[in-house]
Amino acid sequence: MKLTKIFLVFPLIMAVLLLNSCDANKENFGKELVYLNNATSTISVESSYLSYDSVPDPNESPEKKIYVAGVGKSGYFLNPSNVNVELEIDKEYVDSLLNELANPNVVMTDELKYIDGGMLLPDDCYTIDSLSLTIPANKTMAAVPVKLNMEMVKKLNPYIKWILPAFKIKLASIDINPVIQHTIVVLNFKYIDFRPAPDPLTDDLTGWTNIILNLPKTQIMQCPWWDTEAFHGAQFTVDGNKDINTISNRWVPITKTIGTTVAPWVEYDLGGKFDISGLKIYYMNEIESGQTKPTPRANCYLWAKIDNRWFKQEELLGNTVLTPSYQLDIKNVTNIRITWDLIIQPTVSYFLKVKEIEIYTKP
């Protein structure tokens, strides 16, 4: 009876142990090897520092420790002694992938999809004290401790996917399974509330330049669902006419097509690389049928093209004025895109007319 139990239990034990092993490479099946757990992983980060409306919890340290780049030990049996593993950082690998994403003709792999919309986390946002790991005897896993500086993280653009540099195994006290060469870690910062809109521009803009004034029409992307461009074209947003009381020559980026999933937008090719310091929008001072006063658009969203890749910069929410303006600090921008909420076939009481847009750089 006891022998029967042993024969029944032993296969179950073997199955559990094999699940801990790396089965991605049949040649290494059952061998004692060290390996990277995943090619990609996402780490969620929660902190009271991820709030714009409240002061961080005084009992919470600004240093947040997370564990990334897990390594494992495979084999039929648990290791009777420690396994030492030395990792190394490979920023160039992530940079090469991000450069691939800048190619409009790139073939999207699972790895590229995973980091699309991302940037490398700035160096001042984290520290790694050691890349030397030990998988303790009779254990199968270890990971790299990373200390996040949450005071610096809070200053980041919350709309960008932030990525740690890639990790790879450099040396180990046992053989290395080469199936997974790198592990890429995306950080999912769990913001408690929305970032408020930037402060408005000051009245004195001496020395500032509106870099989209009189751009050629060919550099402006027309909202594709408006059919009377001659009277309501996107080219009028850069003609210098800021008279919001004159209803001619204005842009009406409404969406007329039922079933569309793309919101109205306008895009500007700046014709070079600029640091963007400000944005101002002039909505029409026009009372539509059924209105008692003009109602400007409450929300719009600002995107910038940097190194041939698009990144959301701001969600400009809750506007109540006809000429909202915003102080910005966006570096090395070649294109700007502004989008509005998607509202299909709005009624006449819904205000959606733009007279002029200004995008500034300062000396």
* Domain-embedded: residue 72: yes
The reply to whether 5 falls in a domain is no
pLDDT confidence band for 233 (50 / 70 / 90): confident
Would you say residue 341 lies in a domain? yes
Indicate the pLDDT class of residue 238, thresholds 50, 70 and 90. Answer: very high
Is residue 131 scored above 90 in pLDDT? yes
Q: Do 338 and 270 fall into the same domain?
A: yes
What is the Cα–Cα distance from 97 to 108, expressed in whole angstroms? Answer: 10
> What backbone phi and psi angles, to 5 degrees, belong to 12?
-65, -40
Answer yes or no: is pLDDT of 162 > 70: yes
Question: Residues 218, 182: one domain?
Answer: no
222: CATH: 2.60.120.260
Instruction: Report the chain's mean pLDDT, rounded to a whole number.
Output: 85
Lowest mean pLDDT among 70-74, 116-120, 215-219: 215-219
Structure tokens at 238: 């850069």
Same domain, 182 and 287: no
pLDDT at residue 11, as a whole number:
44
**226, 337: one domain:** yes
The pLDDT assigned to 76 comes to: 57
Domain stop point among 154, 189, 224: 189
What CATH number did the domain enclosing 118 receive? 2.60.40.1740
Q: Are residues 41 and 124 in the same domain?
A: yes
Does some domain include residue 194?
Answer: no
Confidence of residue 236 (pLDDT cuts 50, 70, 90): confident
pLDDT of residue 175: 92
Are 42 and 135 found together in one domain?
yes
Decide if 203 is inside a domain: no
Task: Give the end of a domain, one of 127, 160, 189.
Answer: 189
What is the reported pLDDT for 21? 39
- What pLDDT score does 165 carry? 96
Count of structural domains within the chain: 2
pLDDT tens per residue, range 183-208: 999 999 999 998 899 999 999 999 99
* pLDDT 10s digits, 302-358: 999 999 999 999 999 999 999 999 999 999 999 999 988 877 766 665 656 899 999
- Of 128, 159, 189, which closes a domain? 189
Would 204 be classed as within a structural domain?
Answer: no
286 and 152, same structural domain?
Answer: no
Same-domain status, 127 and 260: no
- For residues 52 and 180, membership in a common domain is answered with yes
Tokens found for residue 319: 């506007």
83: pLDDT strictly greater than 80: yes
Reported as a single tens digit per residue, the pLDDT across 346-358 is 666 565 689 999 9
In percent, the amount of the chain with pLDDT more than 70 equals: 82
The answer to the question of residue 2 being in a domain is no
Domain with 25 in it: 13-189
| In a shared domain, residues 273 and 168 | no
Q: What sign results for the dihedral spanned by CA atoms 220, 223, 228, 233?
A: negative
Measure the CA–CA gap between 234 and 267, rounded to whole angstroms.
9
Q: What is the mean pLDDT of residues 84-112?
A: 94
Greater confidence, 294 or 57? 57
CA distances from 189 to 62, 89, 159, 163, 243 (A): 14, 22, 10, 11, 43
User: 151 and 217 share a domain?
Assistant: no
pLDDT at 28: 53
24 pLDDT more than 60: no
**Residue 13: its pLDDT value, please?**
38
Residues 80 and 167 in one domain: yes
Is 53 domain-assigned? yes
- Structure confidence at residue 343 (pLDDT): 74
